[in-house]
Every structure is written in structure tokens, then in C-alpha cells.
Amino acid sequence: MKNIFFHTYLYKQRLWGIVFFLSIFSHTIAQNDILDRPNPPCLVNDFANIFTSQQKSSLERKLVAYNDSTSTQIAVITINSLNGYDINDFSDRLGEKWGVGHKGKDNGVIILIKPKLNERDYGEVNISIGYGLEDVIPDVIAKRIVSYEMIPKFKEEDYYGGVSAAINVIFDLASGKYSADFYTNSIDSEEFWITIIVLGVIFAVVFILIMPRKGGRNGGVSSGGSPPYIFFGSSRGSGGGSFGGFGGGSFGGGGASGRW
């Protein structure tokens, strides 16, 4: 009887040993699926080649300058494959492996982009937020940044424009220039005024089409001037030296993703 219990005990011990080994082995394989930290370190890592060299340099200077002035690290990474991972999981694992942000502050942000490679494919983007920034950039705000600042431009293959717009919002939120509620309200207000403008244009076109025609021999409408054009836009300066390296920040699943 004692021999039976002894052999059962040995069997269980060996079984747990095998399970432990497989878990360590699978974790090692999973870590190898995640990109290694760049050397020399940089904040813009365009492995999918979606930026021009000028665009990449512009983003890098902007992010380095922000890191130098606030210590908040925002890393932009583009890849062609997620190696079978969900983009949220891949982004968080990447942030942990690279240590984006500073240890103790956990003030890192990762913007991960997998572009649309062909007509049958779809693009994906994820913003991962470090522990220390989850209060100022909650998940619902990260989702709005993805949906309103990035994806509309990505659909037009304007990757630089989408990333730059997202970075500007993150800058302002992380720096406390305005709150998450203010950003939400500004988005809602913008949608309202866009709706008003669109309705106004439709009304003007309908009015022109149905109004009585006057003017020359052919009944054409004459106009003494050109229609007004309104341009909306903003510009931000950028500067800064080289990036010194990541500081060991942590990520815990905060952020949001989207597809197009």
C-alpha cells in the first residue's frame, strides 16, 4: 500500500514538473514573438514603413521633446503582423518588454499600428496606456482618440496625420492642458457644428437650384465674386535631441483599439 502511495506521489510531482516546464517554455516562446527593444533606442519605430523619412524624423523630434520636458514617453510602433496575437495583448506585452515610461511613474503610452496591407485585409490600431496615466487618459477617451483622430485619416492612408493628431491630444491630456471631460465635450460640440454646416450647405444648394433664374440671354445666374473658402488647421513646433532610452514602465491593459 505504501508503495502505491509513493508511486502516486512521484507521478504527481513529475506531472507538476512537466506542467511547470511547459508554462515556462510557452512563456519564453511568447516573449520571442514580441519585438526586441530597439538599439539604439528611439520612440518612432516604423517597421511597416508607412512614414516617409521626414515624417518619421518630425514625429521623433516631437516625442523626444515631450519626453525631455515631461518625462512621459510615447512610443509609436508600426508592424505588418501581430504574430497571431490580439492587438491589445501584443501592445501591452510590447510595452512591458520595452519598458516604455518610467519605473514607479508608469507614464508610458504605446501607439501600435498594423496597416491595411491589401483590399482583403483590414488595418488595426491600439493605444496602450501605462498605469500612471490611466486616470487622465481613461479607456473611453483612448477609444475616442482612435475613432475620431486616427481612423478617419488612416482610411485615407494619411498615417502621419492620424498619428500626429492623436499625439497632440495625448500631449494636452497628459500635461493637464485640458481634462478628459473637456475633450469629450469638444468632440460632441464639433460633431454638432459639422452637422449644422452640412445642413446649411445642403439648404444653400437646394435654394440655388429652385430660385428663379435671372441674368443673361441664356437665363444663367451671374456672380460678381468667388465663393468663400474656410480652412481649418493647426501647427505645432517640434524640437529636441536624441532619445535617451526607456525607463522601465508597466502596462496593465488600459487603452483602446479600432479597425478600418
pLDDT tens per residue across span 173-203 = 988 866 566 666 655 455 444 454 544 555 5
Residue 151 lies in domain? 33-181+255-259
Inside any domain, residue 238: no
Average pLDDT, the chain: 78
Contact 71, 105 (CB under 8 A): yes
Question: Any idea what the CATH number is for the domain that residue 147 is in?
Answer: 3.10.310.50
Inside any domain, residue 98: yes
Binning pLDDT at 50, 70 and 90, where does residue 207 land?
low
Helical pair 180-210 and 159-174, crossing angle rounded to 10 deg: 130
Q: Provide the number of structural domains found in the chain.
A: 1
pLDDT, residue 205, reads 54
User: Which DSSP string corresponds to 135-186?
Assistant: TTS-HHHHHHIIIIIIHHHHTTT-HHHHHHHHHHHHHHHHTTSS-HHHHHHH
Distance of CA 218 to the CA centre of its chain: 55
- Listing from the earlier edge strand, what are the strands of the sheet with 251-259? 44-46, 73-78, 108-114, 124-130, 251-259
Inside any domain, residue 221: no
**DSSP-based three-state secondary structure for 240:** coil
Inside any domain, residue 218: no
Inside any domain, residue 92: yes
Inside any domain, residue 194: no
pLDDT at 10 over 60: no
Inside any domain, residue 52: yes
Please indicate whether residue 149 or residue 232 has the higher confidence score (pLDDT).
149
Inside any domain, residue 76: yes
pLDDT, residue 127, reads 98
- Strand 108-114 and strand 73-78: pairing? parallel
Binning pLDDT at 50, 70 and 90, where does residue 239 land?
very low
